[in-house]
Structure 1
């Protein structure tokens, strides 16, 4: 009986090793890994920086008003500089922490989806596409082009948006008023 159990255990381990080896060398999965890796370029770096920036904005929203409410006006400039230095360190660290997760998350979530939804031939075509010099040039140029587009879009829409802000402010004054109610907290002073 013990020999039978030992034989079954050895056979099960051999099957597990064979299955794991077959999964690791599956050409479709390997090609899916390649396609996912080829897609990661400057745009992904920009996304990581944006995610880190979003978390930094949350800290600014939390600590800006606290600083203005608790730090004497005479010391606010220095406190603001110190907070900005800490914020820069935080943003750099958060970007690195998020960046470290890119490969893991890509492997765990994107690779299986690519392997499931694309045929081997389609994955080969995608890999060839992402390896092409034109796409590499596009990926290198895309952040600059994106920034240029956003800058021009902001410039083009600014007059209408500013006019709409004024409409909102006018409506808000009618709703909220301009004088603080007795006992109401004062809004933080503007810089």
Structure 2
């Protein structure tokens, strides 16, 4: 249960465009389309199914990853040292079990919803000629290569961006953390030494000991 959430990188290109359009579109019937255009729409949707599957899994993984990060921050404060390893394993096992159970459910619903949710915006927003170009691009070897390499490219960019922005952003995050801890009457967190390479993970505010989330 480590690594970046994949929702952002899974939803690329056409899928990002049409899903945004679907989210904002009114529930109105699209104008009649030609049989040829309908076939192009169906093909464009079909070509996006792998990205939709990745998106569905990413939507399930993202909150679990966030919970694991928060738990890792709170664990040293709430659990005795001799019990931390077992407690951490129990939390990780629970998160993994959640993903294993929830991901197939989200995938099934995504694949069932996608054809109708995507077809409408594609039919409405693009002409037949534009759809031909989209399908040709999605079927091209260069598009497949691009989609395969995009996670690696984005990951490298994110690493460089975080390293570059850290000196400017960390003081602001530290100030926010101190303010939240003051409001929650939590003790100030001891300063953490940077990890090898100077890229220590950013600690967030620990959750209060009790009360609703």
TM-score (norm 1): 0.63
Partner of 1:152: 160
In angstroms, what is the RMSD of aligned CA positions? 3.9
- In the alignment, which residue of structure 2 is the partner of 1:140? 148
Q: Give the 3-state SS of the residue equivalent to 1:101 in structure 2.
A: helix
> Could you give the per-residue CA deviations for residues 107-138 of structure 1, whole angstroms, max 9, x where no partner exists?
11111221233232222221112111111111
CA apart distance, 1:88: 1.0
Change (3 A) 1:131 1:95: same
Report if the CA contact (8 A) 2:53-2:111 is conserved.
no
1:138–1:170 Cα change, 3 Å: same
Question: How many pairs align?
Answer: 159
Residues 1:91 and 2:96 aligned together: no
Q: 1:32 aligns with which of 32, 41, 57?
A: 41
Aligned to 2:124: 116
Task: Say which is worse superposed, 44-53 or 56-65, in terms of deviation.
Answer: 56-65
SS at 2:86 equivalent? helix
Contact 1:29 1:115 in 2 (8 A): yes
Greater relative CO, 1 or 2 (CA 8 Å, sep 6+): 1
**Paired residue for 1:79, among 81, 87, 109?**
87
Moved over 6 A (4+): 61-73, 173-180
The 1-side partners of 2:182 and 2:112 are apart by 52
In structure 1, stretches of 5+ residues that fail to align are 1-22, 181-185
Greater Rg by CA: 1
Alignment TM-score, normalising by the size of structure 2 = 0.58
List gaps (5 residues or longer) in structure 2.
Answer: 1-31, 189-207
